[in-house]
Amino acid sequence: MATDHELTIKRRMQEATDFLYAIPKFTKKNPLAHTEMFMDRLGNPQDSLKVIHVAGSNGKGSVCSFLFSILRECGCPVGMFTSPHLVDIRERFMINGEMVSEEMFLQAYDDVLQLAGQMQEEGESFPTFFEFLFAMGMLIFARSGVEYAILETGMGGRLDATNVVKRPLVCVITSVSLEHTEYLGDTIEAIAFEKAGIIKPGVPVIYDGNDKAVSQVIRNRAKTLESDSYEITKNMCKFHETVGGGIDFSLVSPYDNKTDFHLSFSAPYQAMNAALAVTAFYRIVGQTEILKKLVQAGVAKASWPGRMQQVREDVWFDGAHNPDGIRAFLTAAKSLCKGDSQKPLLLFSMVRDKDYHQAVKELLGRMEWEEICVTGIPSERGLAAEELEAALKEEHDDTPFYGVKDYREAFRQMLGKKNDGQKLFVTGSLYFIGALLKEIQNAEL
């Protein structure tokens, strides 16, 4: 039976999360100067941390998770601030492999809320949802005594709340694609410029160099700021035949003599993310034989829920949320289906501020499906099943598809249709994946 204290903590956690989720209803985007002022009033806790700053369109969270695992393997106290969360909001604040405690979460929440109220009384704007959580995260990490803090940007980079960090140890920019065009610009170069906004004078930047236009923008920015830049490309990752699950590959780059790595992930795109993380780590601490073995172990132990995650036999969840992410998901799905006698099933949903029409084209044009089910997401940003059905109809494809309004019922139906040995893939949004994972953890599905 729960104690009075435990019940109080549970009630306060519910009240805090309810309030946090309500913030977007009464706030609007604030300029970076607002975040700078807010953090200054908090005592700039971020300045006490050795920060690794990560931006990009796809792969940010995975790069963070690899760095987190490597630093932990090396015995370094480390915190990680990422978004979105899948099940519990405390997932956004990881400390040495664990979510922040409810007590520490609430203490930071109270302190940030108190300051936000004071500043509002003084005529300043209330923090946005992301600003509020970022401020909480920096207080949490500073108070927990971590040495390193891995920070994932929210949207963009140049004007992101995390960009108040003035002197990170290293910056990492993952693959860049067209996203949030209403905020970041409608060309790949414009979006790359926003991502490259995290680069600081003299701070090295490690970046995904597979897109020439993006690479040019990042290199130019780094050169202007006299920052060393390190390009990682797919041809530096040499894949080996893997037995028993996961992926084995070698990283051969100008910054690393041939090193073999094992990934617990089944998605080939994770090799690039691991390569970015490994190179960033070596730029921070140097490279020795002892460190090399620790890095290999850290990469092998890294995990990142919702990214080509096997949740049941022959059932995979992947949080691909834009066309580039969908293409990477399809590459991984094809690899998993190699040699199968049955076409796979697909359950798909997406948020409306992503290019879901292009995502549908990719899904239909690059892989054959036994059947597709589309559904809604329990979010104001989510598309209704009917809207996704309409997008599928526009493609005039022969693949059978149908819509189910409730995402839980959609998942149950697809499980019921799955034959023995047939694979079911679920993708389109991390919010979607998180909602389903929560139902599974609560034994509702």
CA atoms of 50 and 78, how far apart (whole Å): 9
Give me the mean pLDDT over the 190-197 stretch: 96
Per-residue model confidence (pLDDT) at position 1: 66
Q: Identity (one letter) of the amino acid at 30?
A: N
CA-wise closest residue to 437 among 352, 357, 377, 370? 377
Output 55 or 306, whichever has higher pLDDT. 55
Whole-prediction pTM value? 0.92
CA atoms of 329 and 319, how far apart (whole Å): 9
CA atoms of 111 and 139, how far apart (whole Å): 9
CA dihedral angle for residue 409, residue 369, residue 318, residue 157, rounded to 10 degrees: -120
The Cβ of residue 169 has, within 10 Å, a number of other Cβ atoms equal to 18
CA-wise closest residue to 110 among 145, 83, 139? 139
pLDDT digits (tens, 9 = 90+) for 27-83: 988 999 999 999 999 999 999 999 999 999 999 999 999 999 999 999 999 999 999
Strands 170-173 and 205-208: parallel
Question: 363 by DSSP, 3-state: which?
Answer: helix
Measured between its terminal Cα atoms, the distance across the chain in Å is 26
Angle at which helices 289-301 and 60-73 pack, to 10 degrees? 130
Report the topology of domain 4-301.
UDP-N-acetylmuramoyl-L-alanine:D-glutamate ligase (3.40.1190)
CA atoms of 416 and 422, how far apart (whole Å): 11
DSSP 384: P
As a three-state string, the secondary structure of 243-307 is CCCCEEEEEEECCEEEEEEEECCCCCCHHHHHHHHHHHHHHHHCCCHHHHHHHHHHHHHCCCCCC
Provide DSSP, 52-120: EEEE-SBSHHHHHHHHHHHHHHTT--EEEE-S--SS-GGGGEEETTEEPPHHHHHHHHHHHHHHHHHHH
Domain residue limits, the chain:
4-301, 309-441
Q: Is the model's pLDDT at 182 over the cut of 80?
A: no
Q: How far is CA 272 from CA 249, 250, 268, 418, in A?
A: 10, 11, 8, 32
pLDDT digits (tens, 9 = 90+) for 126-152: 999 999 999 999 999 999 999 999 999
Helices and strands, number each (H, E), in the chain: 15, 17
Residue with the two structure tokens 């359950």: 347
What number of CA atoms fall less than 13 Å from residue 183's CA on the CB side?
Answer: 16
What's the whole-number average pLDDT of the chain?
93
| Percentage of residues in the chain having pLDDT higher than 90 | 81
Strands 424-427 and 345-348: parallel
Note whether 248 and 242 are within 8 A (CB). Answer: yes
pLDDT digits (tens, 9 = 90+) for 387-434: 999 999 998 788 999 999 999 999 999 999 999 999 999 999 999 999
CA atoms of 345 and 326, how far apart (whole Å): 15
CA atoms of 41 and 131, how far apart (whole Å): 14
Per-residue model confidence (pLDDT) at position 244: 61
Q: Is domain 309-441 in CATH 3.90.190.20, yes or no?
A: yes
Per-residue model confidence (pLDDT) at position 334: 92
- Give every CB contact of residue 43 below 8 A, 6+ residues apart in sequence: none
CA atoms of 391 and 401, how far apart (whole Å): 11
Note whether 268 and 242 are within 8 A (CB). Answer: no
Residue 326 tokens, joined: 């969908």
